[in-house]
A and B are shown apart, each in its own frame.
Chain A
Amino acid sequence: MSEHRTAAYVRTDMLPEKAPPVSEMGAIRWLRENLFSGPLNTFLTLAGAFVLYFLLSEAFPWFRNSVWVAASVGECRDIITARWGEGATGACWAIIRDRWNMFMFGFYPRELYWRPTLALGLLLFAAAPVLFSESRRIRMIVLGVMTLFLVLAFPALGVGGLATGLMLLALVAMLVVAWSRPWGLLWLTGIYPGLAVWLLWGGSVWVPVLAMAGFVLAWAAFTATRGRGAIISVGSAVAAALAWWFFAMGPVSQVLDTYLPYAIDAVRSDKFGGFVLALTIGVAGIVLSLPIGVVLALARRSDMLLVKALAVGFIEFIRGVPLISLLFVASLLLNYFLPPGTNFDIILRVIIMVTLFAAAYIAEVVRGGLAALPRGQYEAADSLGLDYWKAQRLVVLPQALKISIPGIVSTFIGMFKDTTLVVFVGLLDPLKGITDSVRASFEWKGAYWEPYIFVGCIFFIFNFAMSRYSMYLERRLKRDHH
């Protein structure tokens, strides 16, 4: 800089920094910009504050006056009156405490509560290779929490110390495997469906084992006929599995039951209820509907007329009728067509209907993902010389499914909530079935909000977890952040 003259009236030294005006900083600025930025917003803020105040002033005393231990609604009211004076109202959570087992397990035999609990715990272990394969930290947190939950829950459910210790050993071994290799627990994923069914319904160990063997057989038939085209190999796999399930499985399981009998106490489907029922239907529906939905979506975009027509007809029919009518068909109409004396399990029927229902929606969501892929991706796959299935598996579906994640997860969340509709076919779902039957006892008649709030909270926990997981998955699969 060259020398420059400064006039006498020009200040030469800097003024010290001043704090910004009060209205332009801190909370006041935030309030002004966010809540009172104009007449309309000011009005809306005040109205909102009033509504909030009204709701809180109504609800807060009710929550504050909660009673946790009582034997009946009447006793709750007496306690509230004694503690907070005449005319006070309060929540009577004692109903949840008293009927906790019913909300959780329905009429499941009390001494067997550990079985559904273990099935739920192992669900995450079995899902870990699929859901949490990329991050060891998340995997270990999830599985560690689950191990802790099981170890704490087992003694509370009346399981002996030795059994709990053995289970802890097994879980820790699995934790080590999961720590060292992301796909180390894949064997558990494979056997989990059979294991879960066996834990939930009990009975002979051979029925689930042999049912699972049907899939192995299907796989063997598929690989044996591999080179002869997709239709032949898929067809022979399906034929082998069906033949096994319908004709061979019964005699074989009888023979095995005679010579190598091993069974645990069987639990009938009418004993299921509460969240055991909701989770059984929900998890089975989620796991089964995704592959079916993907296949339907591909079928609907197929060039083969018959395949396409069948897929369109199925999807449009299922989406065109309400879920409740499908459930009614499953529970009532089927009985007219089946031979008398057939014992077609009601939960199985409901699972099938819920699965088909969700699959139709998933198919449309996935079709949206397929349609969103640029045509160039399909052409690129073709130009590489990939056949149809390889092109779908390696190029198209990974991208299409990634696009569809939010839609798929919303369908899952919706389906999980829809499991409460089974109350209309006489199954005791947690929201209305169990709640109504609890309220039908003389002790708890008159409690209205508490069961709904409780069941709603549990559903929220599960659904929020699913939603957060889908957001994590989207972040993980994001590939456009160069």
Chain B
Amino acid sequence: MKKSVFFGTLATAGLVAGFAAASTLDDVKARGELNCGVNTGLVGFAAPDANGNWSGFDVAICKAVAAAVLGDPSKVKYVPTSGQTRFTALASGEVDVLARNSTWTFLRDNDLKLDFVGVNYYDGQGFMVPKALGVSSAKELDGATICIQTGTTTELNLADFFKANNMTYQPIAIDSNAEGEQQYLAGACDAYTTDASGLAATRAAFANPADHIILPEIISKEPLGPAVRHGDNQWGDIVRWTLNALIGRPWPDDGPRQPLGKTRHSGGWQLRRNLCRNDR
């Protein structure tokens, strides 16, 4: 008897939670503030300055959504999320939008009950090697030691790529990008692999960037984008069209005059090119 009351209460609480979470827009308006999940710190995507003001590619989405919903881009509470907590933070309602350089994958979209509203950055996994190694293509990396972050999709991509090309490699497991830089510079590995954006930022921070090259092969497709909870279409539409407005130029009410693809190129690809340029 007691037990069933307890479980009944739990179930009711769950239902209430489900209903109440159905209108994120109302919650945000009532709160007067957007809870935006961001990276704890990733060059170019989200980083606080010395005064605690966040800026970056993903942060811009938070600001834009806040501006669209609340009329003030500063009404954002940035919730730094780690790679492990990001999706649960979104699902549990701790954040309204997750703009945390997350790859849009089948499993995340379906199993995790998220909705990716679009792509704000097309990333892909690449390789960086010292120029002195004399390698100009990833296909020449047979037998190389490669620094790679554990527990990421990059690990699987790497294995697939080497298997498909009948090559062998020796992985050196690292934990974070900072550690990867350190190991790579110390010569612990011949090549460092991660998303091309990360490679470019890492290389730019080296003492002698010219001594290192990013190989032309991009071995995976990593469409990164903001995500919202599945099932709240109204909120999803708001975030999606805020994103679209950021990517393209402002569209008139009667819809885009130019084909969608071309419009996206005008903004998104230019940004990507700027961030990925090797000589930065």
Among the 9-residue stretches A130-138, A225-233, A419-427, the one with 4 or more Cβ atoms under 8 Å from chain B is A419-427
Query: Which B184-217 residues have C-beta < 8 A from chain A?
Result: 201-202, 204-207
Interface segment, one of A4-12, A49-57, A99-107, A386-394 = A99-107
Q: Indicate if the CB atoms of B93 and A440 lie closer than 8 Å.
A: no
Contact of B79 among A328, A335, A336, A426 (CB under 8 A): A426
A337 at the interface (CB under 8 A from B): yes
Q: Whose C-beta in chain B lies nearest to the C-beta of A89?
A: B207
Q: Is the CB of A425 within 8 A of B82?
A: yes
Asked if A30 is an interface residue, CB under 8 A from chain B, the answer is no
A438 proximity list for chain B (CB < 8 A): 41
Quick check: is A77 within 8 A (CB to CB) of the other chain?
Answer: yes
Whether, in the assembled complex, A433 has its beta carbon less than 8 Å from a beta carbon of chain B, the answer is: yes
Q: Chain A residues with Cβ under 8 A from B42's Cβ?
A: 440
B133 at the interface (CB under 8 A from A): no
Interchain CB contact under 8 A, B52 and A440? no
- List residues of chain A with CB within 8 A of the CB of B50: 98-99, 101-102
Stretch at the interface among B140-148, B149-157, B174-182, B224-232: B174-182
Contact A340 B40 (CB under 8 A): no
The reply to whether A437 and B94 contact each other, CB–CB distance below 8 Å, is no
Q: Is the CB of B40 within 8 A of A441?
A: no
Partner of B88, one of A99, A332, A427: A332
The answer to whether B13 touches A337 (Cβ under 8 A) is yes
Contact A270 to B46, CB < 8 A, known contacts A332-B92, A423-B40, A436-B41? no
User: Are A328 and B85 also in contact (CB < 8 A) when A270-B77, A336-B17, A433-B80 are?
Assistant: yes
User: Does A320 lie at the interface of the complex (its beta carbon under 8 Å from any beta carbon of B)?
Assistant: no
Interchain CA distance A433-B20 in the complex, whole Å: 32
User: Which of chain B's residues 81-110 have a Cβ closer than 8 Å to chain A?
Assistant: 81-82, 84-85, 88-89, 92-94
Measured CB to CB, the nearest residue on chain B to A332 is B88
Residue B245 CB within 8 A of the other chain = no
Verify if A247 is at the interface (C-beta below 8 Å from B). no
Instruction: Give B89's nearest chain A residue, CB to CB.
Output: A332
One digit per residue, 1 when the CB lies within 8 angstroms of any chain A CB and 0 when it does not, for chain B 43-57 equals 110111111100000
Cβ-neighbour of A446 out of B48, B80, B85, B206 (below 8 A): B206
A270 touches B79 (CB 8 A): yes
The distance in angstroms between the C-alpha atoms of A428 and B20, with both chains bound, is 30
Is B172 part of the contact surface with A, judged by Cβ < 8 Å? no
Give the Cβ gap from A404 to chain B, nearest Cβ, in Å. 35
Q: Which residues of A contact B10 (CB under 8 A)?
A: 337
A341 touches B51 (CB 8 A): no
Checking B20, B88, B205 against A445 with a beta-carbon cut-off of 8 angstroms, the contacting residue is B205
Known A423-B40, A426-B85; contact A339-B79, beta-carbon cutoff 8 A? no
Most chain A beta-carbon contacts within 10 A, residue among B13, B80, B93: B80
- Chain A residue numbers with a CB within 8 Å of B48 are 102, 107, 437, 440-441
Residue in A333, A339, A436 with the greatest tally of chain B CB atoms within 10 Å: A436
The CA of A442 and the CA of B92, in the complex, are separated in Å by 33
> Cβ of A77: which chain B residues have Cβ within 8 Å of it?
207
Contact A341 B20 (CB under 8 A): yes
The contact of A332 among B39, B94, B206, by CB within 8 Å, is B94
Smallest CB gap from A441: residue in B: B47
- How many angstroms from the CA of A335 to the CA of B92 in the assembled complex? 6
Q: Report whether B43 and A428 are in contact in the complex, using a CB–CB cutoff of 8 Å.
A: no
A424 and B13 contact, CB distance less than 8 A: no
A82 to chain B, nearest CB (A): 13
Taking CB atoms, residues of chain B closer than 8 Å to A446 are 181, 205-207
- CB contacts under 8 Å to A, within B17-68, are 17, 20-21, 27, 39-44, 46-52
Asked whether any CB of chain A lies closer than 8 Å to the CB of B16, the reply is yes
Most buried by B among A336, A337, A424, A427: A336
Give Cα distance in the complex from A336 to B16, angstroms: 11
Q: Is the interface of B mostly helix, strand, loop or mixed?
A: mixed
A318-353 Cβ-contact flags toward B at 8 Å (1 or 0): 000000000010011101110111000000000000
Q: Smallest Cβ distance from B12 to chain A, in angstroms?
A: 10
Asked if residues B51 and A426 are in contact (CB atoms below 8 Å), the reply is no
User: A371-382, CB under 8 A of B: which get 1 and which 0?
Assistant: 000000000000
Residues of chain B within 8 A (CB-CB) of A445 are: 43, 201-202, 204-205
Interface centre among A98, A336, A440 (most CB of B within 10 A): A440
A440 to B41, CA, bound (A): 5
Cα-based distance from A435 to B20 in the complex (angstroms): 37
B14 within 8 A of A: yes
Q: Which of chain A's residues has its CB closest to B88's CB?
A: A332
Cβ of A128 within 8 Å of any chain B Cβ, yes or no, is no
Q: Among A424, A426, A440, point to the contact of B43 (Cβ < 8 A).
A: A440
A29 at the interface (CB under 8 A from B): no
A423 & B82 in contact (Cβ 8 Å cutoff): yes
Contact with B along A87-99 (1 / 0, CB 8 A): 0000000000011
CB-CB < 8 A to B43: which residues of A?
Answer: 439-442, 445
Q: How close is B177's CB to chain A, nearest CB, in angstroms?
A: 9
Shortest B154–chain A CB gap in Å is 18
Residues in A with CB closer than 8 Å to B92 are 332-333, 335-336
**Residues of chain B lying within 8 A (CB to CB) of residue A99:** 50
Known: A436-B40, A437-B47. A339 touches B94 (CB 8 A): no
Docked complex Cα distance between A441 and B202 (Å): 12
Instruction: Say yes or no: B205 contacts A424, CB within 8 Å.
Output: no
Instruction: List residues of chain A with CB within 8 A of the CB of B181.
Output: 446, 448
Distance in Å from the Cβ of B184 to the closest Cβ of chain A?
A: 11
* Residue pair B80, A428 in contact (C-beta under 8 Å): yes
- Report if A241 contacts B (CB, 8 A): no
Our pick among A73, A110, A337, A339 for the contact of B51 (Cβ within 8 Å) is A110
Bound together, the chains give a CA A445 to CA B182 distance in angstroms of 11
Residues 401-450 of A at the B interface (beta carbon under 8 Å): 423-428, 433, 435-442, 445-446, 448
Contact of A335 (CB < 8 Å), options: B94, B178, B202: B94
- Tell me the smallest distance from the CB of B179 to a CB of chain A, in Å: 8
Taking CB as reference atom, which chain A residue is nearest B95? Answer: A426
11 contacts between A and B (CB under 8 A): A99-B50, A328-B85, A332-B88, A332-B94, A335-B94, A336-B17, A337-B10, A340-B21, A435-B178, A437-B40, A442-B204
A-B contacts besides A101-B50, A445-B204, 16 pairs, CB < 8 Å: A77-B207, A271-B52, A332-B92, A336-B92, A339-B13, A339-B16, A339-B17, A340-B93, A426-B89, A436-B176, A436-B178, A437-B80, A438-B41, A440-B41, A440-B48, A445-B205
Interface residues of chain B, those whose CB is within 8 Å of chain A, are 10, 13-14, 16-17, 20-21, 27, 39-44, 46-52, 77-82, 84-85, 88-89, 92-94, 176, 178, 181-182, 201-202, 204-207
Binding site for B on A (CB under 8 A): 73, 77, 98-99, 101-102, 106-107, 110, 268, 270-271, 328, 331-333, 335-337, 339-341, 423-428, 433, 435-442, 445-446, 448
